[in-house]
Amino acid sequence: MRDMIKAGVVGATGYAGAELCRLLTGHPGAELAAVSSVSFEGKALWEVYPSYYQVCGPVCGTQEQVVEQCDVVFAALPHGLSQELAAECARKGRVFIDLGADFRLESEEEYQEWYGGGFLDRELHQRAVYGLPELFREKIRGQRLIANPGCYTTAVPLALYPALEAGLIEKDGIVADCKSGVTGAGRKMTQNTHYPELNEAFTAYKVAAHRHTPEMEQTLSKAAGAPVRLTFVPHLLPVNRGILATCYARVRPGVTLEQLEETYRERYGGEYFIRLLPKGRVADIKNVWYSNFCDISLHLDKRTSTFIAISAIDNMVKGAAGQAVQNMNLAFGLEETAGLKLFPPAF
């Protein structure tokens, strides 16, 4: 029997970090060996998240301790803070999985435009792989520096990739109207996530100006084999978890819903974490709660020749911590679903 992988989480008291700790605690091939938090150093994780009491015990240490004690380091940090940590992990021979944005964009120019900083070490960036297993699995296996996609950038590309790749839809005029649960905004308090101000509310934010836009375009351009630009409008749902992406694209002349369905079945047929819904069903965030599934339903508006692909994920699992574990599994040659056969509750 192989040894348990020692896994560590830097930024463990943020939402993505805490979710990672939960998933790693239940993982059959890994153990949560060390966690760190700048804000809560010296405190046990359960003091921040009382639901973890007597279940998940580690005391928050420093980032250095995590790197020292672990085989794989997950970073759930604000953007800009991962690059030095990644370099340190590379020096120490640790696998590094970044839940932030620092290594997701291939183009330094785009990174500068949307995030405002440069690449500290270009050679390191070139070693980074983009961790969306259902699309880029073979590139991820055995790698040691993995950029874990964000929530929108998982939901939208999974919804559109096969249609673009097969040339069934037009490359221009794509719209991604997305709705996210509040955990996507993180643990940090803001006035618009203060309970009475968000409850019973619903609005869009960063309209056509969200940083995830170029990351989606990067993935979709690979599908199309040519540059793709899309209009992306995120909205904030008054629910805890989930992203629903309603994606619109014009179909190429003569394309039928059956062709689209067949294309998706072929592309995703063997994917454990993608559930193509039967006809008549529509993807719903509630059906993927607390799971690593991405549910997808396909629709065609014949009156306007518009393809509508709707995907649903749990933003904290498939959109963050679960996908990170999936990438760890690929990096270490474990069963890809290890620790991730999570059953979404019905209510």
The rounded distance, in Å, linking the Cα atoms of 199 and 212 is 25
The rounded distance, in Å, linking the Cα atoms of 26 and 290 is 13
- Which residue lies nearer to a second copy by CB, 4 or 204? 204
Q: Indicate if 60 belongs to the active site.
A: no
The rounded distance, in Å, linking the Cα atoms of 335 and 224 is 30
156 touches a second copy (CB under 8 A): no
3-state secondary structure of 23: helix
Point out the catalytic residue in the list 151, 178, 247, 294. 151
Shortest separation between residue 179's beta carbon and a second copy, angstroms: 6
Within residues 20-59, the interface with a second copy by CB under 8 A covers 22, 25-26, 49-56
Residues 40, 115, 136, 290: which binds a second copy (CB under 8 A)?
A: 290
CA distances in angstroms from 79 to 11, 62, 101, 117, listed in the order given: 12, 18, 6, 10
Is residue 336 within 8 A of residue 280, CB to CB? The reply is no
Residues 158, 169, 223, 310: which binds a second copy (CB under 8 A)?
A: 310
Shortest separation between residue 191's beta carbon and a second copy, angstroms: 7
306 touches a second copy (CB under 8 A): yes
Task: List Cβ neighbours of 60 (8 Å cut-off, separation of 6 or more).
Answer: 12, 13, 35, 36, 37, 40, 41, 42, 43, 44, 45
Residues 1, 2, 3, 195: which binds a second copy (CB under 8 A)?
A: 195
Token pair, residue 18, equals: 């805490």
- Which residue lies nearer to a second copy by CB, 65 or 193? 193
226 touches a second copy (CB under 8 A): no
Shortest separation between residue 157's beta carbon and a second copy, angstroms: 17
Within residues 56-115, the interface with a second copy by CB under 8 A covers 56
Catalytic center residues: 151
